A and B are shown apart, each in its own frame.
Chain A
Amino acid sequence: MEHIVIIGNGIAGVTAARHIRKLSNKKITIISAESDYFFSRTALMYVYMGHMKFEHTQPYENWFWKKNNIDLINGFVTQVNTTEKEVILKHNGSISYDKLIIATGSKPNKFGWPGQDLEGVQGLYSKQDLELLEQNAPNNKVCKRAVIVGGGLIGIELAEMLRTRNIPVTFLVRESSFWNGVLPSGESQMINEHILEHHIDLRLGASLKEIVPDEKGKVKSVIVAETGEEITCTVVGLTAGVTPNIDFLKDSGIELGKGVKVNRFLETNIKDIYAIGDCAEQHEAIGNRRPVEAVWYTGRMMGETVAQTICGNRTEYKPGHWFNSAKFLDIEYQTYGWVFSERIKGEDEIHFHWRHPKEKLCITIAFDKGSKTFLGINTFGIRMRHEVFDRWLNDKKDIDFVMAHLADANFDPEFYRRHESEIVAKFNSDFGKNIVPKKKSLKRIFQTS
């Protein structure tokens, strides 16, 4: 019986294992040093905030693995021996494989800042990071102030977490506005305001120069590069992005770049070794995507894809239309298709932006200047229906169609106030159009005749 070994029990590795099991009766072993059972990494913040206990973040009950004949090993892989086809574990010997899937995820970026390894400095990625945070910042008596470095999705989550324990937070964001390398300016501006509303000391255009230790080698303060200001703090959160977690593969002969290099079939340069999820790097980026995609959803898709290949149906990784989501404190964010920030968008990408006069709601819709084709939407505080946008992107609908049918795409809970008429009125006035918004139609939404 062929033995499939998977390093990493995150969403990518576990999805691969589940689908291999569905398709075959191969022997499957998952190795992880992080946790005994699969948990949802994106939910760690809720454990610190007291919304859930750690076991609630585990999507499958503990009997699931035995029942499905998936072996779990708690161990740390130090080396992969590709000639002998075995992985070497730190304490418990080695395991030989017929096929190997590398799904080791990411680790927080550290850019060589002075003091970056001091006690009290940490990232937020793994279960161990969460446990460390519980020690470093159990309350606002132990942690007088935290400084968060890096204005991305993890940074704002960490800020939200610490604020639930009334810990003062200073948030250093290198850019001139929060996440504006990704978000168009109107959205980014709204999030800036929301961060301040939550009493987070947001410092825009501020980057880290160094972390200063006290006499015991613990964090004492940080120094801001731009101003030279010294901010006294107990904890420093490094949240300036993540990078593939592949150090253990250095001398393995597996081709590495930023991540584990893979082709479209998620195969590495060495036969029978695959890489999926955050740690995989495409030789060439797919469409507008990045070569390394550290996103929950892509990890899941790669897991499904590689399972097909391993079970004898060699399948290319072909993700569909881009989508993503996040939550910035109280504001939910969803995106379908591509909407680029002003910093990177092309000449032909036109944006329509609407923001609610009082509430923290806004949308940005991107369309092509010439053909008027709908390219994508960012939506904040208004939920949208994935299926509908996926269909519109497939059908290459134009912007006028999308504006007229916006009600079909709304996914807010029942009885929520609707904003289509204001949105379309703004669009009409911005672009000199005369579009009349159509009423929501169940027939169109569910495609029934």
Chain B
Amino acid sequence: MNTLDKSMALTGQPPKSLSLNQKLATVIGMVGLGILLLATFNVSFPNKTLWLVVSLGSISLGTLWFSWDAYSKKHPGIKNDGVWFKSMSSRGLWGWMAGLALTGFYIVLYFYPEYLGLVSGGENKGVIALFDPLSKLLSGNPASQWFVYGTLYTVAILIFGIKFLWKYRHNRYEKLRTFSVMFFQLAFAFIIPEMMARLNGHKILNGGSLPYYDLKSVWPLNYYNFESYRIKGFLSSGDIGFALLVFAILSIFVITPILTYRYGKRWYCSWVCGCGGLAETAGDAFRQLSDKSVSAWKIERWVVHSVVVFVTLMTTAVVYSYLGTDTSKYWLTKSTFLIGVAVLLTLVFGWAMIFKREQLQKDAQYGAIGYFVIIIALIGFHFFSGEGQVFLFKSETLRKSYSFLIGSIFSGVIGTGFYPIFGSRVWCRFGCPMAAMMGFQQRLFSRFRITTNGGQCISCGNCSTYCEMGIDVRAYAQKGENVVRASCVGCGICSAVCPRGVLKLENGPMEGRIDGNQVLLGNDVDLMTLVNKK
């Protein structure tokens, strides 16, 4: 009891203690994790199938029991009591420990898979061997570190998805969205690709082998999708392979733009995407940790758009490197490809500058101009550079650095490992090139907006606090201004936590969508005219 401790005055002694059920549930979950850890240290389990089931089963049971105890006895409604008192969700000791553990896991996973038991060219050992039975059941092949990761990832989305469903059981938008990410993770990211692997060598594929393809993953998120070995895989696998390649291209240039126009980027980021799926389920407890400051916003725009430039250059370079030069062999040659990329970029850039100029903030314009010049210049350099080199670098170097810096370090180690420190959407906000590209469209050419309800905002700050993308939602709401932000993933939590019913995610006409005027209803109309006069 520290009632006299003034330094604790605003945090006090809160509803943060665990109930007996929650403690037992935690122990059960830890037992499940413990089995995985023991397996990692090569404790051999005689019946792998049984122990894998026991392990994943107790992790799931523990999580579900914990959540059931936390939410089932309470009335449907917002369940944020004590969020900032709990060590885990407020960057306390437990938060830091969880962050370190996750980060460590990612480092081992990406860079030292042999510690997980990966043996190249031999029988798996350790925790990877524990997953062999499941992998063989699905694809017929022994497990890899990626299979272990994929399984744990899917289990996490499913069990924390159920937790989320209980937590937001009063909110049908949240429920449907969560069912959707759970489905896409389980079916598209996990089961279908594993099943597809069974077809490899089959006559239906003309004896070819398809690359591992998560169908919902779209370039530039799967930055590797157009690498030489994958294109060969697609093209060697008959009509199915060809159809998949066509689908991959259509998803970039047709499906994504249409859906983003109609619904905003949320159709992907909060309903389909696996990274988003994990952030919304397992990461939900950490959404409030995102940085809302204006300086964080500035950094975000520079970093994420740099990644877009990086991935565009890298992919262009990679595709360029395996294309031929002889038009008589194949219509797409090195130079036609480069010219095509340049034309496409010019068209998009030109359209934005001509039609959407006034909607672009000044620095976004500078950024766009700067980067545009760089891309054109690099393409120009090519014509003066020798064989084996693309632009200024070797394409392989570019690809490797992207894969290391962005694919591993950013999306994995920082993006997920640091959930308990920086919040759940660090990758989506600062790193994901797909999110950035859709964001660009969402800001300029989409029907989606978060409507602010007239003058009802009381500036309480729940919306901003619980925005995982670090958007200062309140800054818009208190001015009566709609929220139209490139980074908004449409999770809908700002609307859910608003105590006054001020925010609504909706699709409507583009006309008047971005209303910079301070139309605070309830005011005198003449006054508002004056206030809005510039």
Contact = CB atoms under 8 A, between A and B. Distances in A.
Given A50-B83, A141-B1, A320 B293 contact: no
B15 A332 contact: no
B348 interface: no
A50 B78 CA distance: 12
Interface string A92-136: 000000000000000000000000000000000000001100110
A448 B511 CA distance: 8
B527 A318 contact: yes
A327 B461 contact: no
A400 B308 CA distance: 54
Contact of A59 (B2, B9, B84, B475): B475
Contacts of B495: 413
A164 interface: yes
Residue from A54, A138, A198, A332 whose CB has the most chain B CB atoms within 10 Å = A138
Given A50-B84, A52-B462, A318-B526, A411 B504 contact: yes
A138 B522 contact: no
Contacts of A166: 15
Interface stretch (B168-176, B191-199, B249-257): B168-176
Interface stretch (B214-222, B397-405, B450-458): B450-458
Given A386-B454, A387-B521, A411-B453, A334 B501 contact: yes
B14 A165 contact: yes
A320 B529 CA distance: 13
Interface string B463-499: 0110000000011001000000000000010011101
B238 interface: no
Interface in A281-337: 296-297, 300-301, 304-305, 308, 313, 315-323, 325-327, 329-330, 332, 334
A19 B172 contact: no
A415 B172 contact: yes
A345 interface: no
Contacts of A43: 458-462
A297 B492 CA distance: 25
B12 interface: yes
A448 B509 CA distance: 8
A131 B523 contact: no
A330 B79 CA distance: 10
Contacts of B396: none
A134 B9 contact: yes
A390 B461 contact: no
A52 B456 contact: no
A308 B523 CA distance: 14
B524 interface: yes
Nearest to A11: B459
Interface in A32-53: 40, 42-43, 46-53
B104 interface: no
B454 A50 contact: no
Of A53, A198, A316, A448, most buried by chain B (CB within 10 Å of CB) is A53
Contacts of A325: 456, 458, 500-501
Contacts of A395: none
A43 B524 CA distance: 26
B414 interface: no
A215 interface: no
A301 B511 contact: no
A57 interface: yes
Contacts of A315: 527, 530
A413 B504 contact: yes
Interface string B316-343: 0000000000000000000000000000
Contact of B521 (A53, A54, A323): A323
Contacts of A297: 455-456, 522
Contacts of B464: 56
21 contacts: A43-B461, A43-B462, A50-B81, A51-B497, A59-B474, A61-B294, A134-B8, A134-B9, A139-B12, A304-B520, A305-B527, A315-B527, A317-B524, A320-B522, A320-B523, A325-B456, A330-B78, A330-B170, A383-B504, A387-B521, A411-B451
Q: Which 3 A-B pairs have the closest CB atoms?
A: A386-B454, A330-B77, A383-B501
